[in-house]
Chains A and B, each alone.
Chain A
Amino acid sequence: MKPKPNTSEEKPSLVPPFVALILSLILPGLGHILARKYRKGLTLLLAFLSAAGLWIWRVTVVARREVGFAAMFTKAIRLEPILILIFVLLVLMYILIALDAYKSAHISKPNSLLLWVTVLVAFFVLGWQIGEIQPAVLIRNGKNSLPLLMRVLWPWEKAVYYPEELLIGSADVVIPCAGVELETPKLEADAPYLTVDPTCGDLSEIGGKEGTRLKVTGGNFSPNTETEIWWVDQVRNEFRYRYGGDYVKVTTDDNGSFQLDVVIPYRVIPTQGEKGYVVWQLEARQVASIGKPVISEELKLSVEKMVETIFLGMMSTFFGVILSIPISFLASRNLMSANWFTKTIYMIIRTILNIVRSIESLVWAVIAIIAVGLGPFAGILALTIHSIAALGKLYSEAIESIDHGPVEAIQATGANWLQTVWYAVIPQIIPPFVSFTIYRWDINVRMSTVIGMVGGGGIGYLLIQWIRLLDYQSAGIAIWFIAITVAILDYVSSEIRERFI
C-alpha cells in the first residue's frame, strides 16, 4: 500500500483555533505550522517576512537622508505614495494569515483564495515599485525616441553617398575706386567664373549710406544648385555676404549661370592700406555632387563584419560538434553504466558540462580575450566552449534515448562493438544530431553578433562602437544586417531540418 500523500493534513491540529490565531499574530505562519500545515505555514512565513523586508528596504532607499524610521516613513510615502499601498497590503496579509490560521486549525481544507491573491498582489505592487515602472513617463517622453528610432529603422541614407566638389568662382573688387586696372586672370574655358560691374566701389557706412551696388554675373557653375556668396578681404578674412541681416543665397539656372546684385558691405577695421586702396575678392561658392553614388565606408564595414560573424558562428559550431561528439558518448548513461569506473567518468563529465554550460558565452569571451587577445579567434573560442557543453548534453541525451532493440538485434548477429555502434546506434542518432547541430549553429551565429560587444570579433563590435558614438544610422545598418542574416538562417535551418528528419 502506498502512503497517502498528505497524512499530516488529516491529523488534528496541535493547538486550538484561537491559539493558532494568536500565534499567527505573533509570527505569521506559526499558527499554520502548529496546525500541522507545515508547508503552507513556512510558505506564508517566508512570503510575509520577505515582503515586509523588501518594503522596509524600499522605504530606506527612497528616504535615505532622513534619520529615524518615523521620519523616513513620512518622507518615503510623500515621495512615493505607492509605498503606503504596499503597507496596507502587508497589514491585510498579516490579518488574513492570522484568520487563515484560525480556520486551518479546525477545518482540514479552508478556502484561502483571498489570502493567496493578497500575497500575489503585494509582490506585484512591490515589483512595480522596485522596477520603478512609470508608464506616464513612457507616454509623455516616448515620442522623443522617435527620430532616433527612425534613424535606426531606416539607415540607408548612410549606406551610399554622393562625392562632392567645391566650385568657386571669384572676381576682384577695388575699394575704393582708385582708377586701378586689375589684370583679369585667365581661366580655363569650362571653369566657373564671376564678373562684377563695376569692378570698384565704396564700402557701406554703419547706419548711413549704402555702399556701391555691384552687378554680379556667374557662369559655368553646376546647374540648379544653391550657391553661397562670400567676401574675402585684403588680409584673407572670409565672411559670408549678408543683406538685410540674412545670408544671401542664389540658385543657378539650367545653364549653371546666375545674376545678382551685391552691395559692398561695411567693415569696422580700416580698409585703406599704404596704396590708398585695397583689393577684395567676391566669391560664389557651390557644393556640387559629381559622379555616381559611392557605397559608404559604414556599409562596407558592416558587410565585412557580417561575413566575419557568420564564419565565426560556423567555425565555432564546427569545432563544437567535432569535440562534443566523443564527449557525448562518454556522457551518456546507457553506454557508460558498465562498471564503477565508467560510471565515475560519466559523473565527472556530466558535472563539468553542466558547469561550463551555465556560464554564459559572453563570460567565456571575456576569458578568451585575456588568453588570445581581441578579435574573432576569442569569439570562436568562447562559442566553441559553450557549444561543446551544450551539444555534449543534447547529444548524450539523444544517445540515451535510442531504442535498444536494434542494438540487441545487431549484437545477436555476431557483430562486434564497432559494427554494432555503426549499424544500430549511429543510424538512430543521426536525426537528433543533425537537428541539434543546426539549432546550435543558429544560436552561435546569433550569439556571435553579440559577442563582439565585449571584443570577440564580428559585427557586435561595430554595433557597440556606433551606439557609443551616437551614430544611430550606422548602428541601424549593422542591426539590419543582423536581422537579415538571422532571418535567412532561420529559413535555411528549418529547410535542412525538414530534409533530414
Chain B
Amino acid sequence: MLEIRNLTKIYDDGTVALRDVSFDIPDGEFLVIIGLSGSGKSTLLRCINRLIDPTEGQIIWNGIDIAKLEGQDLRNVRRKIGMVFQQFNLVKRSSVLMNVMAGRLGYAPTWRSITGRFDEADKQRAINAMKRMGITDQANKRADELSGGQQQRVGIARALMQEPEIILADEPVASLDPVLAHSILQHLESLNKDDGMTILCSLHYLDLVQRYSTSVIGLREGRVVYQGNKQQIMRMTDAEFKTIYGEEAERMGGITGEIAEQDITAAGEEIEL
C-alpha cells in the first residue's frame, strides 16, 4: 500500500505543481494518472522516488515516509522503485547491456560497479531481463542505434534489474506509435499481472487508459479532480472528462459509459493479434 498524504510541491520560481494531493494505491494496482501537460503528473511521479523533493506532505510506503528519507535510506527505497521515462533516458553512447546493468547500481558496491565488475548473479539477471523484453540480440549495440520501441524496452529492462515492487512510468508511450504503445503497455501489464508489481503510469490517450488501467487518478492544475476504478473509468462521462481536461476539451476516441466492457477487451485483443 502506497499512501500519498497532502502532497504539495512549489518550485523555486513559485510555480505550484501539486496542491494537497492525497490518495492510496493498494499493492498490485495498475494506476493511470491522466491530465493535461503541466497538470503535475510528472512532478507527482518524481516526488514518489524523490527525484523531486516535495515541499510538504507524506509518501508512506510500507510504513516508511519516503518524503523524509535521506542518503543511503533513500537510495535503498529508490532501488525498489523502477522508473520508465517518456524520452527513455538511456545513456546513448553506452551499450544496451551497460544500460541494463545500470539498473543494478543501487545494489552493487560503488567500486565494483565503477570498474564494471558485476557479479554473476547480476549478469544472469541482465540476460533474463533482456530475454523477457526481447532485446537479447541488441545487447552489444549502442543504445542510440536502436529504434524508439526497442529503446523503451531497454528502459523497462533497466527497471526490471532493480527487482522493483513499484514501477513509475512517466508517459512511457508518448514518443511511440500506437502499435509500439500497445506493445510497451502490454509489457507493463504483464509485470503488473504476472509479477504483481504496482504500476503508476501517466498516459494521454483515453483508449489506452481504459484498456490497461485498474484505477485512475485525474490531475488538473496540481489537484486530484478525478478518482475511479476500472468500472468507473469505462463509464467516464463527458462532464468528468471536462473536469479533467477543461471546458474546451473535445473528446476523441475512448468509449463512453453505455458500451459494455467486453467490447473493450475485444478491441484490445484485436491489436494484440
Contact = CB atoms under 8 A, between A and B. Distances in A.
Contacts of A415: 75, 102, 105-106, 113
A415 B168 CA distance: 17
Contacts of A410: 91, 102, 105
A401 to B, nearest CB: 14
A405 B91 CA distance: 9
Contacts of A430: 93
Nearest to B105: A415
B43 interface: no
Interface stretch (B76-84, B132-140, B196-204, B249-257): B76-84
B121 interface: no
27 contacts: A403-B89, A403-B92, A405-B87, A405-B89, A406-B89, A408-B51, A408-B89, A409-B83, A410-B102, A410-B105, A411-B51, A412-B51, A412-B78, A412-B82, A412-B168, A413-B79, A413-B104, A413-B161, A414-B105, A414-B106, A415-B113, A418-B114, A419-B108, A419-B114, A423-B105, A427-B93, A427-B94
A408 B75 contact: no
Contacts of B82: 412-413
Contact of A406 (B46, B75, B91, B114): B91
A428 interface: yes
Interface in A419-433: 419, 422-424, 427-428, 430-431
Main secondary structure of the interface of A (DSSP, over half): helix
Contacts of B92: 403, 406, 427-428
A336 to B, nearest CB: 16
A405 B75 CA distance: 18
Nearest to B80: A414
Interface of B: 46, 49, 51, 75-79, 81-83, 85, 87-94, 98, 102-108, 110, 113-114, 155, 158, 161-162, 168
Contact of A428 (B93, B98, B110): B93
B91 A414 contact: no
Given A410-B102, A423-B102, A423-B105, A416 B75 contact: yes
Contacts of B91: 406, 410, 423-424, 427-428
Contacts of B79: 413-414
Contacts of A412: 49, 51, 78, 81-83, 168
A403 B88 CA distance: 12
Contacts of B94: 423, 427
Nearest to A431: B93
A413 B110 contact: no
Given A414-B75, A414-B105, A415-B102, A408 B85 contact: yes
B85 A405 contact: yes
B202 to A, nearest CB: 15
Interface of A: 403, 405-406, 408-416, 418-419, 422-424, 427-428, 430-431
A234 to B, nearest CB: 92
**Residue among B81, B94, B98, B168 facing the most chain A CB atoms (10 A cut-off):** B94
A415 B103 CA distance: 9
Contact of B158 (A408, A413, A416, A422): A413
B54 to A, nearest CB: 16
B162 A419 contact: no
Contacts of B89: 403, 405-406, 408-409
Given A409-B89, A411-B78, 18 more contacts: A403-B92, A405-B85, A408-B51, A408-B89, A409-B90, A410-B102, A413-B104, A414-B76, A414-B107, A414-B162, A415-B113, A416-B75, A416-B110, A418-B110, A422-B114, A423-B91, A428-B91, A428-B93
A138 to B, nearest CB: 54
A409 B85 contact: yes
Contacts of A418: 110, 114
A431 B113 CA distance: 22
Contacts of B76: 414
A428 B110 CA distance: 20
Contacts of A422: 113-114
A420 to B, nearest CB: 8
B222 to A, nearest CB: 21
B78 A414 contact: yes
Contact of B102 (A405, A413, A416): A413
Contacts of A431: 93
Contacts of A413: 78-79, 82-83, 102-106, 158, 161-162
B110 A419 contact: yes
A423 B89 CA distance: 12
Contacts of A427: 91-94
Nearest to A414: B106
Nearest to A422: B114
Contacts of A414: 75-79, 105-107, 162
Contacts of A423: 91, 94, 98, 102, 105, 113
Contacts of B46: 408
Nearest to B72: A416
B200 to A, nearest CB: 13
Q: Which 5 A/B pairs are nearest by Cβ-Cβ distance?
A: A414-B106, A414-B79, A405-B89, A415-B105, A409-B89
B78 A419 contact: no
Nearest to B104: A413
A415 B93 CA distance: 19
A409 B103 CA distance: 9
Nearest to A419: B105
Nearest to A412: B83
Contacts of B162: 413-414
A422 to B, nearest CB: 5
Contacts of A416: 75, 110
A410 B94 CA distance: 13
Contacts of B155: 409
B113 to A, nearest CB: 6
A423 B51 CA distance: 17
Nearest to A410: B102
A412 B47 CA distance: 11
**Residue among B83, B90, B105 facing the most chain A CB atoms (10 A cut-off):** B105
**Residue among A411, A414, A423, A428 facing the most chain B CB atoms (10 A cut-off):** A414
A412 B158 CA distance: 11
A427 B95 CA distance: 11
A425 to B, nearest CB: 9
Nearest to B101: A423
